[in-house]
Structure 1
Amino acid sequence: MIYFELAGAPRGKERVKQARDGHSYTPERTVTFEGRLAYAAQLAMGDRPPFEGPLRLEVTMHMPIPASKPKAWRSAALRGDIRPTVKPDWDNGGKLTDALNLIVWIDDKQIVSGHVEKWYSDRPRTEVRVTPINPAEGIFA
């Protein structure tokens, strides 16, 4: 199993944009976030080679609490009574897995099970947990 976190407000993968001259590009914010995520993964993996075989991916996005919210709302959000219904979309949080190819796994097609959650926190961050699945037993290794 591998676990790592990336400090700062979570970002989702933005759609590819098209320039006026017709070429496509990934927005700079996505490229920067994916680069930071890849670096955090490299540190967590150390000298280990990428995982092989089927994997479970868990992503937890801890969103910042808006400064404009009153104290009672903030307390409820920190307890988990209020959950974020703001961007990024949960599925775009999971799509950032391309950044971990050849670092945590060979290819993200190895992910056969996944879970993405969003919570509020006074310490915004993105947490990633990858667990190998033992296919012979059908359970997590």
Structure 2
Amino acid sequence: MKSVSFHVPGKPQGKARARTFYNPNLGRHMSVTPDNTVLYENLIKTMYIHAAKGCKFEKGEPVTLCIIARYMPAKSTSKKKLQQMLDGEILPLKKPDMDNIVKVIADALNSVAYQDDSQVVLVKAKKVYSALEGVDVTIEEYRKGE
């Protein structure tokens, strides 16, 4: 079964909304994706390309996207609470929203891992506390019965 796993280092980020404005020189409205989102999407692409070694999911091939967003606990957290966080007893109920994390990863992998993110038919995503901050991503062939 075809599968690619990779880690995106740094604090998990979500897809920011595009900024729309009227450009009087062109006489029309324009939308621009914020720079931070563009940079984060480029990092995701780079990490995928490095891990995939040429693996790409063909057009029309359904895929499963598995995402684990890892957050570091605050340095001021007590030892007891820190252990509860790392054991998964306390989960990160913080920004960015999980749907925005999924969106930035799915969009970044368009034309890189797959032809279009419409090929993603199943998403498994969760937020956890971890000693290593970042996002773990696995893209694999969809298996019936999942």
| TM-score by shorter chain over 0.5 | yes
SS at match of 1:67: coil
> Could you tell me how far 1:116 is from its partner in structure 2?
1.0
Aligned length: 137
Of residues 88, 112, 115 in structure 2, which corresponds to 1:106?
115
Larger Rg: 2
Say which is worse superposed, 17-26 or 99-108, in terms of deviation: 17-26
| CA offset digits 1:35-65 (Å, max 9, x no partner) | 1000001111112334441111111100121
Give 1:13's aligned residue: 15
AA of the residue aligned to 1:12: G
CA distance in 1 between partners of 2:100 and 2:129 (Å) = 17
Q: How does 1:107-126 map to 2 (within 5 A)?
A: 107-126=116-135
Give 1:25's aligned residue: 32
Q: How does 1:46-125 map to 2 (within 5 A)?
A: 46-52=53-59, 53-96=61-104, 97-125=106-134
Asked if 2 retains the 8 angstrom alpha-carbon contact of 1:3 and 1:130, the reply is yes
CA distance in 1 between partners of 2:56 and 2:126 (Å) = 27
Root-mean-square deviation (Å) = 1.7
Q: Percent identity?
A: 28
Give unpaired runs (5+ residues) of structure 1.
none
CA distance in 2 between partners of 1:15 and 1:105 (Å) = 23
